[in-house]
Structure 1
Amino acid sequence: MHLNMTLLKQRLDTLNQLRIDRAMANMGSAFQQVYTMLPVFLHYHHPKMPGYQDGIVPNGICAYTPNEAQVQYLTNFCQSADIPLNQHASQSLPITGVYSMGSTSSVGQSQFSDLDIWICHQSWLNGNERTILQAKCLLLAQWAASLGVEVNFFLIDENRFRQNQSGKLDNEDCGSTLHILLLDEFYRSAVRLAGKPVLWNIVPDEQEMNYEEYVSALFADETLQRDEWIDLGGLGSLSAEEYFGASLWQLYKSIDSPYKAVLKTLLLETYSWQYPQSQLLAIDIKQRLHNGELDSFSLDAYYMMLERVTTYLQAIGDDTRLDLVRRCFYMKVCERLSESTEAIPLQGNWRREILSQLTRDWGWDMERMQILDDRANWKIERVRDAHNELLDALMQSYRNLIRFARRNNLSVSASPQDIGVLTRKLYAAFEALPGKVTLVNPQISPDLSEKNLTFIQVPIDRANRAGWYLYNQAPQVDAIIGHQPLEYNRYLSKLVAWSYFNGLLTPDTRLHVKNSQYCSDEKLQMFVADIAKHFPLRVPAPTPKALYSPCEIRHLALIVNLENDPTESLLQQNTPPFDLGKLDVFSFGNQEQCLIGSVDLLYRNSWNEVRTLHFSGSQAVIEALKTILGKMHQDALPPESVDVFCYSQHLRGLIQTRLQQLVLECISLRLSSTRQDSNRFKALRLAGQTWGLFFERLSVSVQKLENAVEFYGAISNNKLNGIPVQLKAGQEHLPEIIDGSASEGIIQFFFEDTDKGFNIYILDELNRVEVYLNCQGGIEELVCDVSRFYASSHERFTYGSGSVNFNLPQFYQIIQSEGEARVIPFNSNSISPLSASSVPMTKKDILLSHTF
């Protein structure tokens, strides 16, 4: 009935030892120490060992026996600590096994690779015990980091995949976006460092669809003993609906690891191309294991990924992406074949041997390898080309997977919460928007700094477009004339921000300004110094909570009179001496001139986007204020910093102080919690005209007030009538609790349970409102349908040859807590099932009514 189990166990042990040896080969002593000692520190818990914390901490690995190096450490440790350590090997200890997975031990491992460690634990560990064990893992990760090794720990309940559970989405954990595909990656790449062997490897591939029955038979006739193996389940339950969430996850990972993400995203595309006869890579490896193929290539998870993707791209004739995939693979392996073997010995370095054979098969010459090996010295032109090429390939795979889902009428298996977080992250990273600073160097080159940057202004009515041109050369005629600029923008602030946040502009960069009437080299130097002081380049990644919440401004700067400075002409007009106490910088002198000629906004938001906007002329202040306030929803946190950078020739300090006071006052009014006070407004005299800023429920409006009657009339209208909101479902008012979450730029759905069903309140990207009352049916199904509709139908994101939209709707639930209404992110696990009786408004009606 069964294959020779003894032989299979021997092959499995042989493969595992081969992978351990390969993981250690050609790696530094710090990596080898961490890789060897992690099982020891998870098995034992002692104050003198890394990872120790007070209290009762789950420790102990089932069936663990220390190897020779670990025994030597323990022997020395016991003597120095004078404490005997019980080397228990029980099968009922909390940790079932410790495994490395991913690129470790494969040809894809390099000196720069991190370690992904799965700690599989017994299902009887409770939540508190898991939290304590996670804290121990964090301490172990800090110990490894002190040695220069990055380790990511993942606690895996042994029943997670059998019960379709998911982790909590964060920078490393894929949450609900991957399930069987995650298990596929684990099975094809796992290395057992300690604990029980993985049962799945024993089950023949032809039994995959009958996995449970086959395993039960093995235990029933005592061919295998249940407590000697870890059983995470079979791969037969893979659903094609998992591909969409998986592709989003790989795009998410591409922000930091683009070369690896291209390979993995194309593997997903390959799986979809083979559908419904898709065969996972892990099953291929298992087949070769059962057939006794233990050579260098057959069981290497990274090589097999390249092999499968290559077969697919050749079959569809996509030579462009095939060439890119090979380059991605080469740079992931990171063996630098253009360097002589005298510096790096070829013999004994198995990764280098494999890569050398592959590049010969590909017909690569030395020049190509030299360019790739010199990636650490790539500058902006080559990095931007690489970034665009990688992004194009990723988006093409994403679009192909979307088409695959449409053809097969597939829904999305990932939770709406995780899809919301991922799409927000992708929107922030990839969405091309006016004024947004695009970051073009996702771990491609470590240093884009330039020795010289020249900013040249072209005025109106010239042959070239009016605006600013950036060159990475000194301002010499032969270096500029006939050469393409690095970047163009109508406004200087955007070019400077782009240079700074992309790392071209550093303290050692020499800056030059040419042909500008207002901005001198000195003014530009001051502007750059202000940005560097107030906007750090490195900030923590946005949390899932921040990504699922409406966007908020975190760091804000107003840049005044950088390109247009009205104060330069003040002394030329023989203006009498100023009384600074009475001077109005917004309506100055007899001519009532506004001394602010241009305002540039520079801000970083809670999704880590960096934006710039430019306003000029006499109304620049009011336009800038309305724009800033419109990007703040009423319950947002105030910005962590609000700065005004003023570059006026005269009255610089006064202009800066007065504008900062005005901005802070307006922000306070916008974020005020007194929602019932409908009389919140700010009157501003600007260049001889009176303007009213009205702080309304969902937005901030601006009205020009010509006379006193109009002024007071506007106040009364605001006070008596509130905000004019057009509702499609009668004259019912929008619940006030929604005000605090209303955010421009995204579509928001709010669900509210009622005795007759549930209400839906929908705010579009301009905060226009639609209301549907007393709906029947399932909210969760509605959320999934709306998400899928927007993911597959709305294409606002434009890049290269195609379009992708990441600005999906956000979903919220209105709940009652302690007698008060609250808005929380929609959670499918927290809602009560609703009756599916007659539906006054169909889901199709809702969807079709929101083609904004």
Structure 2
Amino acid sequence: MTHPHEIRPDIDEGIDRKVLAKLRARFLQLNTGRLQRAMDGLSTRQQQVLTLLPLLFHVNHPLLPGYVSGSTPAGVSGFEPDANLVAEGQRLARSFTYKTRLGNPNRPIHGLFLMGSLGTLAQAEQSDIDLWVCHAPGLGDSQLDELRRKCQLLETWAASLGAEAHCFLIDPQSFAQGLRDSQLSSDDCGTTQHYLLLDEFYRTAIWLAGRTPLWWLVPAYEERNYSSYTETLLSKRFIRSTDALDLGNLAHIPAGEFVGAGLWQLFKGIDSPYKSLLKLLLTEAYASEHPAVRCLSLDYKQAVFANHLDLDALDPYVMVYRRIERYLQARGETRRLELARRSLYLKVNKKLSGLDRARSNGWQRRLLKRLVDEWGWDERQLALLDSRSQWKVRQVAVERRELVAELNHSYRFLSQFAQNNNASSRADQRDLNVLGRRLYAAFERRAGKIEVINPGIAPDLAEDTLTLVQSPNRKEPGSHHWGLYNGNLSVHEWEHFSPIKRCRELIELLTWAHRNGVIDSTTRLALHPGASDLNEFELFNLLGSLQQSIPLPLETVSEVRLLQPSVANEILLLVNVGVDPLRHHRDLNILMTTERTDSLSYAGVRENLVLTLDQITLNSWNEVLVQRYDGEHALARCLRDFLNSLGQRSHRPRVRVRCFCHNRAQAISQRVEEIFDTVQLLLDQGRNHRYLLQVAQHTHVLELLPGQVSLTTLAEHEAVLECLGEERSTYSPLYLDANALQDHDLPLVLENARPGCIQVFYRLLEGWADLYVLDEYNALWQQRLPLHDENHLLLPLQRFLRSMVMRHDARVPLDNLQQAPLQTHYAQLLPSGPGKARSIEPRPTPDDLNDQPYYEVQAILQAGTGDDMHVTLYCNQQEFSELDHGGELYTVVARQILSQRRSAGHYRCYITDLDLSELLDDERGSTLLYLRYKRELEQALNDGLAQLQATLEP
């Protein structure tokens, strides 16, 4: 149905210039109303800025704001200041006078427009003044530089009057072609949303001076014929080109713009969801109509043509809301519509409840009141929204659920839209991926992650007074949990209230409260520690440590960081939270004095004082993660997981260790910190270290392979020897913690390891000797043997090792023998006899050149079926095989050896040479492997020898 005063020009039938003048008058009528509304919302000094801007761009006067030089582009098309405006200028500079320039002077400033929220329902005291300065095309670089400088000076002047102004230079000719290289509003995301920005400009812009938009004069139904229509208007002189400004049309909006605009609003919405929600929903409503999108600026223009000039109905924010309302009602999404209404109400920020009604009854409040009456909101709902500044955890948590769901919905919609319409450029696809990570970091729940409950919903969640309580967990008998309650509650009161938050562990609860600002430096805490050892001193220091490691507010995560996997930046390790490791001594009133002060092996009973560790991690995506370790192996597991979290990256987090427990807190934290520092240094060396740590009665071995750190926990010394004796294929240094294996000789051996050689260490005891061999890969072989004399102990081993090295070298082509043969080095642990070894002294390699000829026993091992092996022994070149002797092989060989001995002494027989070539195929085989087979064969031979000797003795 047409309005009686609707204008529907038909260019084919001809256009009356009076009709065009009437159209322009209608737009200017709306413009005047909006400008007056904008002025009404500004202070007197801010009004002065808006009033004077046209004059200041029209002239260059040395005493007026914005003066750069007399040649700076100045002069606004079609503008002549009236006497009142000249008087305003003279208040700033008494010497200022204005003379009308005769003829046709150059006017390089084609138009001045306000854009954004000024003059709208959402205008606020802090609203920016975004000014588009449309200039003549073809200005030189020096002219543009001067004009840009003039804008900067005017922004500074406006700031001195309490107005935050932003001037944006526009070349209309370039802009109409979609060419620009800078942002054009305070809320602009760049060049990829050209048409959506133009849509926003046409429906929000307030004309201040200069030419008026040519777009005003093109009917909405002719938008697709914009170029030919405007060419006709200009070529047939229906309008003069000096009166109109052409910034382009909105006949078609590329699909990619909806993706780009949605991404930008989502990005902003993570921290300020209410501010972005309306624009996100409008983008979704537009995109759902693609490709036949009817943007709001066309609705606005159509209303003017139809003579529907109601300022309230055509308010930009009301129009946005009405489009969203129609879209969501058509989809039956009432919950999302209610969220949009709340967002609009909070955006306008004019309180309508209770005493606030008595405030100034301005047009914004009246219009908002009509809307909320239409929505059927009651006093309770208004009071709740008006008290947003006092919202605390419970209300914020309710609101967060809907906001997060909406942001995630928008992300899914944009992703699907981009995929369905092939609308995402490579940059958009990257932005989608980055945004997905940003949403994941901000809102995704996972084990150990502290949930951020206040993404811009309420300004301050801090509580004045809270009560912290540990209490039994009735659902899990034998366990406890911690609760945080509003107010200062006594031990008899807290049970009658519901906690703000409840967690199994104290640090998770405190970290949640700190990260969400529920506890700040002014919060008073009442403590009921329950069965824990927590006291107010420890609680105060725990909170201080959290504030130091997670300083709020956190910096915004950069895109560069989101393009990479998250890494830990800050790690806080809190040891023995709420636990006194010597509580049993305190309860018995025992004061311990001891020389054994190691926190991992304390006093004579070697107690471990590191009972629990709480790890708080702040990563590069601003996620805060909490993990707890307890039990007797807590430290070792925490160490392993920490090292594996570093992966193979060079990045290293800052690690802080703190302990505030009742006994030995400083010594405990220093000990743990030293360990973490040491393992990081070892890992950084990249030499595949093994780190050996003793905690109480257990020994832990950590294999430091980047990203694959493994932990082996050993209870017995024999198990330690077995672990260190595992065969290796590359050299692996061993690093012993300073207090590891202190009751054994092993540290002396392991600390003297060298790569690329075989090292033999021995210690002479009473009737026995301990032999240690570190092979070329630093694997340990150890054996205790009866001691006849030093020569009989070492010579058989030296002969065997010499033979083994010769076999190794024989399997390598001569061309590849670039390195010298493996050298064998000997050293003796001193002193001999009982007690602990204190030192090591090098010894010469045993020499048998002057010795009597020795009895050679050679063994050849061959693969059998399955895991079986066939053994053939050669005694002084005589063959003995299992084929001939079966299970009696070792007894027969022992008899042969015994028959060759000149004396009847009970001494061992040894293998002097071993061939493993068939078992190893083309592999070299480590020294350790040869020594293992040697020991097994010698054990079998010596068992046979012992049986024979037993039968021969009377």
Q: Do they superpose with TM above 0.5?
A: yes
Instruction: Output the amino acid matched with 1:621.
Output: L
Instruction: For residues 808-847 of structure 1, give each alpha carbon's deviation from its aligned partner in whole angstroms, at most 9, with x where no partner exists.
Output: xxxxxxxxxxxxxxxxxxxxxxxxxxxxxxxxxxxxxxxx
In the alignment, which of 327, 333, 341 is matched to residue 326 of structure 1?
341
For residues 403 and 396 of structure 1, what CA distance do their matches in structure 2 show?
Answer: 11
Unaligned regions of 5+ residues in structure 1, if any?
721-852
Within the alignment, does 1:692 sit opposite 2:706 as a pair?
no
Which residue identity lines up with residue 558 of structure 1 in the other structure? L
Deviates further, 644-653 or 8-17: 8-17
Aligned equivalents of 1:45, 1:564: Cα separation in 2: 75
Secondary structure, counterpart of 1:233 in structure 2: coil
Cα shift readout 1:385-418 (whole Å, capped 9, x = no counterpart): 1222233334344445555556667556853443
CA drift at 1:226: 4.7
What letter is aligned with 2:593?
A: P
Contact 1:169 1:544 in 2 (8 A): no
Q: Distance in 2 between matches of 1:436 and 1:292?
A: 57
The number of residue pairs the alignment matches comes to 706
Q: State the partner residue of 1:263.
A: 278
SS at match of 2:317: helix
Matches within 5 A, 1:327-342: 327-339=342-354
2:622 counterpart of 1:615: no
Contiguous gaps of at least 5 residues in structure 2: 1-10, 715-719, 734-954
The aligned residue for residue 304 of structure 1 is 319
Quick one: distance in 2 between partners of 1:369 and 1:466?
41
Letter in 2 for 1:9: R
Please identify, of 121-130 and 447-456, the stretch whose mean Cα deviation from structure 2 is larger: 121-130
Q: Which residue of structure 2 aligns with residue 188 of structure 1?
A: 203
Letter of the 1:599 partner, please give it.
L
Correspondence for 2:436: 423
Cα gap change, 1:40/1:261 in structure 2, threshold over 3 Å: closer, same or farther? Answer: same
Q: Give the Cα–Cα distance (whole angstroms) in 1 for the partners of residues 432 and 186 of structure 2.
A: 14
CA distance in 2, matches of 1:634, 1:170: 44
Change (3 A) 1:341 1:663: closer
| Partners of 2:244 and 2:574 in 1: CA distance | 64
Q: Distance in 2 between matches of 1:231 and 1:633?
A: 57
Residue 360 of structure 2 is aligned to residue 345 of structure 1: yes
Q: Percent identity at matched positions?
A: 33
Please report how far the alpha carbon of residue 499 of structure 1 lies from its aligned counterpart in structure 2 after TM superposition.
Answer: 1.4
Q: 1:201 aligns with which of 216, 220, 244?
A: 216
Check whether the contact 1:459–1:467 (CA below 8 A) recurs between aligned residues. Answer: yes
Structure 1 counterpart SS, 2:253: coil
Could you tell me which amino acid in structure 2 is paired with residue 388 of structure 1? R
- Structure 1 residues 723-763: Cα deviation after superposition (integer angstroms, max 9, x where no partner): xxxxxxxxxxxxxxxxxxxxxxxxxxxxxxxxxxxxxxxxx
Per the TM alignment, residue 549 of structure 1 is displaced from its structure 2 partner at its CA by 4.3
Is the 2:538–2:661 Cα contact (8 Å) retained in structure 1? no
Question: What residue identity is the alignment partner of 1:255?
Answer: I
CA contact (8 A) 2:166 2:186 kept: no
CA distance in 2, matches of 1:712, 1:91: 93
**Structure 2 equivalent of residue 392 of structure 1:** 405
Is 1:315 aligned to residue 330 of structure 2?
Answer: yes
Q: Which moved more, 1:231-240 or 1:152-161?
A: 152-161
- The residue identity in structure 1 corresponding to 2:229 is Y
Equivalent of 1:368 in 377, 381, 387: 381
**Structure 2 Cα separation of the partners of residues 133 and 340 of structure 1:** 49
Q: Equivalent residue of 2:627, what SS? A: strand
Answering whether residue 182 of structure 2 is matched by residue 174 of structure 1, we say no
| 2:74/2:107 contact within 8 Å kept | no
Quick one: structure 1 residues 690 and 534, their matched pair in 2 at CA, closer, same or farther if it must change by over 3 Å?
closer
- Cα RMSD after superposing both structures: 4.4
The amino acid of 1:495's aligned partner reads: L
Instruction: Give the 3-state SS of the residue equivalent to 2:193 in structure 1.
Output: coil
Q: Conserved in 1, the CA contact under 8 Å of 2:54 and 2:208? A: yes
Partner of 2:459: 446
- SS of the residue corresponding to residue 596 of structure 1 reads coil
Deviates more, 1:208-217 or 1:28-37: 28-37
Amino acid of the residue matched to residue 195 of structure 2?
Answer: I
Distance 1:681 1:226, change over 3 A: farther
After superposition, the Cα gap between the structure-2 partners of 1:424 and 1:644, relative to the gap in structure 1 and judged at 3 Å, is: same
In structure 2, what is the Cα distance between the partners aligned to 1:719 and 1:554? 29
Counterpart code for 1:493: I
The farther-off stretch of 126-135 and 336-345 is 126-135
**Is 2:243 aligned against 1:233?**
no
Q: 1:525 & 1:231 partners in 2: Cα distance?
A: 65
Identify the range of structure 1 (609-618 vs 102-111) with the bigger mean alpha-carbon deviation: 609-618
Higher relative contact order (CA 8 A, sep 6+): 1
Cα-to-partner distance string for 1:597-620 (whole Å, 9 max, x where unaligned): 222223433333333332223343
Q: For 1:692, give the aligned amino acid.
A: L
Structure 1, 368-377 or 548-557: larger mean CA deviation: 548-557
Measure, in 2, the Cα distance between the counterparts of 1:120 and 1:179.
Answer: 16
Q: Does 1:506 align with 2:520?
A: yes
Query: 1:209-231: CA deviations, max 9, x gaps?
Result: 23333333434334445565443
CA distance in 2, matches of 1:708, 1:49: 89
Q: CA separation in 1, counterparts of 2:349 and 2:418?
A: 35
1:343 and 1:363 mapped to 2: Cα distance?
A: 21
Partner of 2:593: 577
Are the aligned partners of 2:33 and 2:311 in contact in 1 as well (CA < 8 Å)? no
Please state how far the C-alpha of 1:283 moved relative to its aligned partner. Answer: 0.9
Report SS of the residue matched to 1:704: strand
Compared with structure 1, are the counterparts of its residues 26 and 116 closer, same or farther at alpha carbon in structure 2 (3 Å cutoff)?
closer
Instruction: Tell me whether 1:213 sits opposite 2:221 in the alignment.
Output: no
CA distance in 2, matches of 1:657, 1:45: 69
Q: Is the 8 A contact 2:192 2:257 kept in 1?
A: yes
The answer on whether the counterparts of 2:73 and 2:146 sit within 8 Å (CA) in structure 1 is no
Q: 1:43, 1:60 within 8 Å by CA — same for their partners in 2?
A: yes
Q: Which amino acid aligns with 2:90?
A: T
Q: 1:20 aligns with which of 25, 28, 35?
A: 35
* Residue 106 in structure 1 maps to residue 116 in structure 2: no
Number of the residue aligned with 2:609: 595
Q: Quick one: distance in 1 between partners of 2:253 and 2:302? A: 18
Structure 1 Cα separation of the partners of residues 366 and 31 of structure 2: 21
Max Rg structure: 2
Superposition TM-score, scaled by structure 2 size? 0.64
- Cα 1:290/1:719, change in 2 over 3 Å: farther
CA distance in 2 between counterparts of 1:145 and 1:629 reads 52
State the SS of the aligned residue for 2:704: strand
Secondary structure of 1:602 counterpart: strand
- Against the structure 1 CA distance between its residues 486 and 39, is the aligned structure 2 distance closer, same or farther, given a 3 Å change threshold? farther
Contact 2:636 2:700 survives alignment (8 Å): no
Provide the secondary structure at the position in 2 that maps to 1:615: strand
Q: 2:665 aligns with which of 639, 652, 660?
A: 652
CA drift at 1:106: 0.9
Contact 2:73–2:143 (CA under 8 A) maintained in structure 1:
no
Q: Paired residue for 2:393?
A: 380
Match of 1:527 in 2: 542
1:475 aligns with 2:483: no
Q: Structure 1 pair 258/122, CA: closer, same or farther in 2 (3 Å)?
A: farther
CA contact 1:585–1:655 (8 Å) conserved in 2:
yes
Please report how far the alpha carbon of residue 23 of structure 1 lies from its aligned counterpart in structure 2 after TM superposition.
1.4
User: Do the aligned partners of 1:252 and 1:422 also contact (CA within 8 Å) in 2?
Assistant: yes
Output the CA distance in 1 between the equivalents of 2:679 and 2:55: 59
**1:741-796: CA deviations, max 9, x gaps?**
xxxxxxxxxxxxxxxxxxxxxxxxxxxxxxxxxxxxxxxxxxxxxxxxxxxxxxxx
Q: Deviations over 1:266-310 (max 9, x none)?
A: 222322444443311111011112223221223211001111122
Name the structure 2 match of 1:808: none
Match of 1:358 in 2: 371
Q: Name the TM-score, length of structure 1 as normaliser.
A: 0.71
Question: Once the two structures are superposed, what CA deviation does each residue of 1:354-382 show, in whole Å capped at 9, x if it has no partner?
Answer: 12222232333333322222222222211
Query: For 2:592 and 2:270, how far apart are their aligned partners in 1?
Result: 58
Tell me which residue corresponds to 1:643. 656
**Structure-1 separation of matches of 2:293 and 2:287:** 7
Name the structure 1 match of 2:841.
none
CA contact (8 A) 2:485 2:499 kept: yes
Matched AA of 2:521: P
CA distance in 2, matches of 1:112, 1:298: 24
- Corresponding residue to 2:268 among 241, 253, 278: 253
Compute the displacement of 1:478 (Å): 7.5
